């Protein structure tokens, strides 16, 4: 992930003024969007820090509006009834949540159906909601912006699959470039003539056309859409992957091909659906979608593949953000918001980071970013029962809805926060997750956690000047310089925690008192 940091006046880098304090960010604090797709209708209400919003409410109803359209040219009649009922419900929910309005967009099924305009008129008459019907290129742009919400500064190819269409969009340095649309949605593939061979030839021809329009795309492939996420769940199941978080899950081109073969050869799709936690409506589309993905990967040959839970709905939110919000790091903004909302001493995370920074002075920027996130989050779980607090911290960090985090970074952050409350990590039911990072990264997370565990004992005032660390890595010597005011705080428990930190650093430790 590449993170762009705005060099605004008065902005202290990643620890500048939190943008959720700004009126333009607060205006986005609760936004409702509805996506009327070919397969489902979904309401999402975003809440919290605008740059990295929480999902205040999220509901999906499978309507299959696009089912049978290739034969009739009309929206599925039953799906149309279900969709209208869903939109009535969503409008009432929005009123109950105090939302002034909902932004509603419709994609391939409604834009292609001959009765699409009639459906939109029914929605307006029945609910008062105006449905904006967008074309394929606009759908591709919004989906790509959704990816940029979680990965600012990313580059690669965004592929969004719905029930009736599939879009591609190029992203580079935070900008959406070329965009194309196609009819490769699994609902439409159900009606392609010629059986399996005819469908295979159709998929191959369309993807080769898309490649000629998009040009070489050998960077990362970002997958957006429910069918892709279902395939990722099957890939996790096949691999025995222990962290069941879809966002930022990575697959190699080889893994995609193996999973495509695994799905094809699996005799009982109902059993597979149950094992992977996929709905029956979604599972019927997976065998068709995986044919598309296998050919897409074979044709474009991306260096790697990342699953994005962010798509068109997040892209609609991103559309409303001023550029200076877009440029901020979604992870740091979310952690700041969590500290402001839940920590006992909001603002202390910055001081803690400054205190322990000398130990990590030579760390790369990506690691320093995680250290800052950990310091912001170090106290947000203080209400948890002391016996379970360490595990709660790990669970929250690894499974939280945070953008801009690779799975390995989630484990690192979780381990650091676990060690904020305990010296040992053995004996938890998360141990199978530790192996997602190497031993050095585990040890670094332990050092970070123990540094925070000690540092939290010296401050009860966020602006106090208590002391500083000096670290000499070649000599393996750690010095702690304390102010006269801090010496009474350095009791036996603090000393034990300092010695535990020194042990993890494999260092000797010296405590020195400042004269003033």
Is 1 a domain residue? no
Lowest mean per-residue pLDDT among 287-291, 300-304, 463-467, 507-511: 463-467
Domain-terminating residue out of 275, 290, 314: 314
Q: DSSP secondary structure string, 268-286?
A: -HHHHHHHHT--HHHHTTH
Q: Indicate if 164 and 310 belong to the same structural domain.
A: yes
Q: Indicate if 271 and 167 belong to the same structural domain.
A: yes
Q: Indicate if 129 and 142 belong to the same structural domain.
A: no
Task: Say if residues 481 and 468 touch (Cβ distance below 8 Å).
Answer: yes
- Pick from 422, 412, 370: nearest CA to 391: 422
Find where tokens 């105006």 sit.
130
pLDDT at 29 over 60: yes
Q: Indicate if 106 and 145 belong to the same structural domain.
A: no
Confidence of residue 28 (pLDDT cuts 50, 70, 90): low
Task: Say if residues 91 and 102 touch (Cβ distance below 8 Å).
Answer: yes
In angstroms, the CA 79 to CA 63 distance is: 5
Is 8 a domain residue? no
Q: What is the pLDDT of residue 157?
A: 97
At 176, give phi and psi (nearest 5°).
-90, 125
- Output b/e per residue, 27-56; b: 16+ Cβ within 10 A: ebbbbbbbbbbbbbbbbbbbbbbbbbbbeb
pLDDT at 359 over 50: yes
Domain-terminating residue out of 314, 342, 377: 314
Q: Indicate if 380 and 291 belong to the same structural domain.
A: no
Is 414 a domain residue? yes
Condensed to tens digits (0 to 9), the pLDDT of residues 9-20 reads 344 444 555 544
Lowest mean per-residue pLDDT among 10-24, 207-221, 264-278: 10-24
In this structure, what CATH number is given to the domain that contains residue 144? 3.30.420.150
Q: What is the pLDDT of residue 403?
A: 81
Q: Indicate if 225 and 91 belong to the same structural domain.
A: no
In angstroms, the CA 16 to CA 328 distance is: 10
What tokens does 485 get? 């005011």
Q: Indicate if 273 and 386 belong to the same structural domain.
A: no
Higher pLDDT: 41 or 465? It is 41
- Output b/e per residue, 235-245; b: 16+ Cβ within 10 A: bbbbeebebeb
Is 162 a domain residue? yes
Is 370 a domain residue? yes
**Average of per-residue pLDDT across 42-51:** 78
In angstroms, the CA 477 to CA 483 distance is: 20
Q: What is the pLDDT of residue 181?
A: 96
Is 101 a domain residue? yes
CB neighbours (10 Å) of residue 118?
Answer: 13
What is the 8-class DSSP label of residue 486? T
Confidence of residue 31 (pLDDT cuts 50, 70, 90): confident
Q: Indicate if 506 and 444 belong to the same structural domain.
A: yes
Q: What is the pLDDT of residue 23?
A: 56
Q: Indicate if 432 and 508 belong to the same structural domain.
A: yes
Please give the share of the chain, as a percent, with pLDDT higher than 90.
70
Q: What is the pLDDT of residue 50?
A: 60
Is 324 a domain residue? no
Q: Indicate if 194 and 299 belong to the same structural domain.
A: yes
179 three-state secondary structure = strand
- Which domain, by its residues, includes 307? 137-314
pLDDT at 488 over 90: no
Domain-terminating residue out of 81, 113, 134: 134
Q: What is the pLDDT of residue 322?
A: 82
- Pick from 80, 87, 88, 47: nearest CA to 64: 80
Condensed to tens digits (0 to 9), the pLDDT of residues 109-162 reads 999 999 999 999 999 999 999 999 999 999 999 999 999 998 888 899 999 999
Confidence of residue 173 (pLDDT cuts 50, 70, 90): confident
Residues whose CB falls within 8 Å of the CB of residue 113, separated by 6 or more in sequence, listed in order: 65, 66, 69, 73, 74, 75, 119
Please tell me which of 319-323, 461-465, 469-473 the model is most confident about, judged by mean pLDDT.
469-473
Condensed to tens digits (0 to 9), the pLDDT of residues 223-234 reads 999 999 999 999
Q: Indicate if 185 and 196 belong to the same structural domain.
A: yes
Is 417 a domain residue? yes
In angstroms, the CA 107 to CA 35 distance is: 8
Residues whose CB falls within 8 Å of the CB of residue 280, separated by 6 or more in sequence, listed in order: 270, 273
What is the 8-class DSSP label of residue 358? G
Per DSSP bridges, beta strands 156-161 and 220-224 are parallel
Condensed to tens digits (0 to 9), the pLDDT of residues 430-464 reads 899 999 999 999 999 999 999 999 999 887 666 66
Residues whose CB falls within 8 Å of the CB of residue 296, separated by 6 or more in sequence, listed in order: 159, 207, 221
**Average of per-residue pLDDT across 258-274:** 92
Total count of domains within the chain: 3
**Average of per-residue pLDDT across 245-269:** 94
CA 479 vs CA 184, 308, 349, 488, 507: distances in Å: 62, 44, 22, 18, 10
Higher pLDDT: 270 or 17? It is 270
In this structure, what CATH number is given to the domain that contains residue 418? 1.10.3210.10
In this structure, what CATH number is given to the domain that contains residue 22? 3.30.420.40
Higher pLDDT: 114 or 323? It is 114
Please tell me which of 24-28, 205-209, 392-396 the model is most confident about, judged by mean pLDDT.
205-209
Q: Indicate if 411 and 385 belong to the same structural domain.
A: yes
């Amino acid at each position: 992930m590449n993170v762009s940091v705005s060099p605004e006046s008065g902005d202290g880098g990643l620890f500048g003024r939190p943008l959720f304090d700004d009126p333009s960010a607060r205006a986005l604090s609760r936004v409702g969007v509805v996506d009327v797709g070919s397969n489902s209708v979904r309401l999402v209400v975003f809440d919290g820090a605008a740059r990295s919003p929480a999902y205040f409410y999220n509901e999906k109803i499978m309507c299959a509006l696009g089912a049978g359209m290739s034969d009739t040219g009309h929206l599925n009649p039953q799906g149309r009834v279900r969709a209208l009922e869903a939109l009535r419900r969503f409008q009432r929910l929005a009123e109950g949540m105090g939302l002034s309005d909902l932004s509603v967009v419709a994609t391939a099924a409604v834009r292609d159906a001959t009765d699409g305009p009639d459906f939109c008129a029914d929605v307006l008459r029945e609910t008062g909601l105006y449905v904006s019907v967008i074309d394929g290129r606009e759908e591709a742009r919004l989906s790509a912006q959704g990816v940029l919400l979680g990965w600012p500064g990313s580059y690669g190819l965004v592929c969004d699959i719905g029930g009736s269409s599939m879009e591609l969009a190029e992203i580079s340095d935070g900008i959406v470039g070329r965009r194309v649309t196609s009819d490769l949605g699994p609902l439409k593939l159900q009606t392609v003539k010629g059986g399996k061979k005819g469908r295979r030839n159709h998929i191959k021809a369309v993807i080769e056309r898309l490649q000629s329009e998009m040009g070489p795309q050998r960077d990362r492939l970002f997958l957006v859409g429910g069918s892709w996420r279902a395939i990722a769940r099957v890939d996790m199941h096949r691999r025995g992957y222990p962290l069941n978080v879809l966002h930022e899950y990575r697959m190699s081109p080889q893994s995609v091909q193996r999973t495509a073969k695994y799905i094809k050869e699996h005799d009982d799709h109902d059993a597979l659906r149950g094992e992977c936690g996929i709905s029956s409506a979604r599972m019927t589309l997976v065998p068709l979608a995986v044919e598309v993905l296998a050919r897409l990967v074979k044709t474009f040959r991306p260096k790697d593949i990342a699953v994005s839970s962010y798509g068109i709905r997040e892209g609609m939110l991103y559309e409303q953000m001023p550029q200076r919000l877009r440029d901020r790091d979604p992870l740091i903004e979310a952690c700041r918001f969590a500290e402001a909302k839940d920590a006992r001493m909001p603002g202390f995370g910055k001081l803690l980071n400054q205190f322990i920074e000398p130990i990590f002075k030579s760390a790369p920027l990506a690691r320093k970013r995680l250290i800052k996130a950990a310091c912001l989050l170090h106290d947000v779980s203080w209400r948890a029962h002391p016996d379970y607090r360490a595990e709660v911290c790990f669970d929250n960090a690894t499974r939280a809805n945070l953008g801009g985090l690779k799975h390995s970074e989630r484990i690192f952050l979780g381990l650091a926060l676990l060690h904020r409350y305990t010296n040992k990590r053995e004996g938890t039911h998360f141990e199978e997750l530790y192996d997602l990072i190497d031993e050095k990264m585990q040890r670094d997370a332990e050092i970070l956690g123990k540094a925070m565990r000690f540092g939290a004992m010296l401050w009860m005032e966020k602006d106090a000047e208590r002391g500083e660390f000096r670290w000499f890595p070649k000599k393996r010597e750690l010095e702690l310089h304390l102010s006269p005011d801090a010496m009474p705080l350095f009791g036996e428990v603090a000393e034990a925690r300092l010695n535990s930190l020194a042990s993890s650093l494999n260092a000797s430790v010296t405590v020195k008192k400042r004269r003033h």
